[in-house]
Structure 1
Amino acid sequence: EKFLSLAVGAVRELALFLGTLLYAYAEAAVRLLLPARRKAVGGELVLLTGAGRGLGRATAREFARRQSRLVLWDVDTHGLRETAEECERLGATVHTFVVDCSKREEIYSAAEKTTRAFLPAMMDNNRGHIVTVASAAGHFVTSFMVAYCSSKFAAVGFHKALTEELSTLGKNGIKTTCVCPVFMNTGFVKNPRTRLGRILEVDEVVKEMMEGILTNKKMVFVPPQLSIALFTDMLIPERVSRFLKKLTDVKFDAIVGHWSKQ
């Protein structure tokens, strides 16, 4: 009798799994055929870190064009002021705070002045959107970038773990997005180059990121075909993977110890 009960339970769980699988594929097919629904962010409070230049500044401009209320953080006072002036000219309400995000006490102090506490307040309201800016280096590795790749793998892991935990807690009103672009032309590394693909401009990364945010997309790869490369990398043997990496021939000027590598 106990065996029969276990068998019935197993069959029920298998049927539930197959039903969920079929529903998920049907849902994905419908999404491919129908245009994605975009949410409005006008009047919403948007906190942006690293807003003084580069990707942060370009993202601030996009939210300003949509009339969001902006809270801009950066350690660079001059760059922060320039970003704020640009966004105000676009008609947005802007508040700026000079914050060093490596110092916990500065984060808490700025949070107290703007949004009290971020995730706890979101969870109380079951509403909000958390965007993690990572990198393709959070999925693929590049020589001479051990520290950078490690930090980006951590960022991707944070996004996935947070997404899972919010789902477990039933906080489905809080959306999460992780953005993973390849090399961008921001000056972070000197003279980046590759045989396959190209170096991205900041504005095209922001365009893809905003689309992902407005459509509640979990993972945004820029360019999108990176998702195919990630899937392929898990299937092919390591020797083939190494050969393909040599073909891409990613290079940049960097100082490694006392040696100059190109």
Structure 2
Amino acid sequence: MNFLLETLQVFFLSIYFNLEALLKWFIPSRKKNVAGETVLITGAGSGIGRLLALEFAARGATLVLWDISNEGNWETAKLSKERGASRVHTYICDCSDRDDVYRVADQVKREVGDVTILINNAGIVTGKKFMDAPDNLIVKTVEVNTMAHFWTYKAFLPAMVASDHGHLVSIASSAGLCGVTGLADYCSSKFAAVGFAESMALELLAMGKTGIKTTIVCPFFINTGMFDGCNTKWPRLLPILDPNYVVKKIMHAILTDQVYLLLPRSLYIIVALKK
């Protein structure tokens, strides 16, 4: 009897949530206010991390910028202040080093306070075929692209759980949904990042922590310099993405509590066909 009831519940909830998703295509979701929120962005010294910092700066958020490059981080902080940010805090952190993540996280909590929006953006790519990739770079790829998410969640999620308030954002990749030749280590690390983010979202729901939102971002290659030399066979279907376009879409997803963001839109069809 319990099995039958649970099956019916899954069936009717599936219909309900699909209808809800369909309605959201036509009725714009209300955007939340992030003024006063404390936003931590890893890999903030350049690329998508820097552009996200500028977007949050213009919306009155307190910024906590992490990067391994002091120079890049300071430049992001300077630009953020020019965009209107009143509080910007910069920290040098090697996200591949668990002890360094915990050390800097403790420093942030002492000097700034609890983080309410965590954006795991830092990422690296070897750009080599698997057999040509040095072992140390494979390990580093997994440490930065995957394991760093574990340590930042461990550091900042308890405070979110205590207050049932927060937002966890994983900047993953379309390479975390479909395998790509020449990117075996990168794809593996991003597949793991997506799986971790999905699992944690479900874990939070099971705990009843509905005030903590999650967003998983899976874009195709972005023209930030990270994938210089990469080409696309079907530029109309899968174009190399403009960073400013991507950041606008990410911000909209965060402000509307969108769970998944795939870019470009054709990825939704491709992933559905794969499944």
Interval of TM-score (by shorter of Structure 1 and Structure 2): 0.7 to 0.9
Q: Does structure 1 residue 164 correspond to structure 2 residue 157?
A: no
2:181 corresponds, among 131, 134, 143, to: 143
TM-score, structure 2 normalization: 0.78
Task: Show the 5 A alignment for 1:38-187.
Answer: 38-92=31-85, 93-115=87-109, 117-187=155-225
Indicate the SS of the match to 1:106. Answer: helix
2: CA distance between counterparts of 1:47 and 1:59?
10
Backbone CA RMSD of aligned residues: 1.5
Instruction: Give the drift of 1:55.
Output: 0.8
- Structure 1 residues 12 and 155, CA gap change in structure 2 (3 angstroms): closer
Question: What fraction of aligned residue pairs are identical, expressed as a percent?
Answer: 43
Instruction: Give the drift of 1:195.
Output: 2.5
Instruction: Give the drift of 1:37.
Output: 1.1
- Which stretches in structure 2 are left out of the alignment for 5+ residues? 115-154
More strand by share: 1
1:16 corresponds, among 6, 9, 16, to: 9
* Equivalence for 1:206: 247
2: CA distance between counterparts of 1:187 and 1:19?
46
CA displacement 1:52-71 (0-9 Å, x = unmatched): 00111011011111111000
The structure having more radius of gyration, on CA atoms, is 1
CA displacement 1:14-67 (0-9 Å, x = unmatched): 543443233223322332221111111011100000000011101101111111
Q: Supply the AA of the counterpart residue of 1:107.
A: V
* Equivalence for 2:119: none
CA displacement 1:127-177 (0-9 Å, x = unmatched): 100101110000111111111111110111111111111111111111111
TM-score, structure 1 normalization: 0.82
* Equivalence for 2:126: none
2:234 corresponds, among 166, 184, 196, to: 196
CA displacement 1:173-208 (0-9 Å, x = unmatched): 111111111111122233221131321121111111
2: CA distance between counterparts of 1:21 and 1:157?
21
**May I ask how many residue pairs the two structures share in their alignment?**
227
Q: Does structure 1 residue 221 correspond to structure 2 residue 262?
A: yes
2: CA distance between counterparts of 1:178 and 1:14?
28
Indicate the SS of the match to 2:34. Answer: coil
